[in-house]
Amino acid sequence: GAVVSQHPSWVICKSGTSVKIECRSLDFQATTMFWYRQFPKQSLMLMATSNEGSKATYEQGVEKDKFLINHASLTLSTLTVTSAHPEDSSFYICSASRLPEAFFGQGTRLTVV
Amino acid sequence: AQSVTQLGSHVSVSEGALVLLRCNYSSSVPPYLFWYVQYPNQGLQLLLKYTSAATLVKGINGFEAEFKKSETSFHLTKPSAHMSDAAEYFCARRADGGYNKLIFGAGTRLAVHP
């Protein structure tokens, strides 16, 4: 099966700093990747669609300037949480599209202190 | 509107008992449908998928699901629960418009007790 690797699996940062999360498709090329956010005991909420070589498409209510997405290659998308605040603490999960399925990374637990 | 509804946020079964997790979708055209399992602090693992071929879909770990267009349902079942099945289960549908943008249900937490 296809493998998607997400790094880091957990990170603790100070309020006001930026954090970068990487999502890599290890054995296939993904022109489209997705970033989700999951609050404790809740479902996944789509944040944005990342397309290789073009600007990401953000869902309504998601701040583009706070959650910077870059998809510079067919195997790597990054999510940067800028000027992080405690309310940004959450579980972030990426997925890479290989039709007809989407394959998920392991997730990143972000804690902002 | 495109949506997925999972009935029952918590389901508890005895080990060896039947597992039934319910999922209904809202769509004028049958979408691709998926069931994922999530263990604590981990990503999602695909259990099975419906892509308009066979209506009875078999997945990993003994799970299966039946697509019923008349009921707009895609319920997940397993004949005999195992302790290791305890996890969060998400039903999802592919959103219209291509790619693989998924719309998730709220999730069902399955507890398995001895």
pLDDT band per the 50, 70, 90 thresholds, residue B53 = confident
% of chain B beyond a pLDDT of 90: 75
pLDDT band per the 50, 70, 90 thresholds, residue B54 = confident
Q: Is A50 in a helix, a strand, or coil?
A: strand
Neighbours of B85 (CB within 10 A): 19
Q: Is A35 in a helix, a strand, or coil?
A: strand
The pLDDT of residue A31: 86
Chain A residues near any Cβ of chain B (below 8 Å) = 4, 6, 32, 34, 41-44, 46, 49, 91, 93, 95, 97-107, 109
Of A1, A42, A22, A28, nearest to A97 by C-alpha is A28
pLDDT band per the 50, 70, 90 thresholds, residue A51 = confident
Chain B hits for A100, CB-CB cut-off 8 Å, are 32, 49, 51, 94, 100
Measured in degrees and rounded to the nearest 5, phi and psi for residue B66 equal -120, 125
Average pLDDT score over chain A: 93
Beta strands at A10-13 and A108-112: parallel, antiparallel or unpaired: parallel
Question: How is residue A86 written in tokens?
Answer: 């405690």
Q: Do B100 and A100 touch (CB under 8 A)?
A: yes
Chain B hits for A93, CB-CB cut-off 8 Å, are 43-44
The radius of gyration computed from the CA coordinates of chain B, to the nearest angstrom, equals 13
CA atoms in the 13 A half-sphere facing the CB of A29: 5
Among A49-53, B59-63, B67-71, the range scoring the smallest mean pLDDT is A49-53
* Cα–Cα distance measured from residue B46 to residue B17, given in angstroms and rounded to the nearest whole number: 22
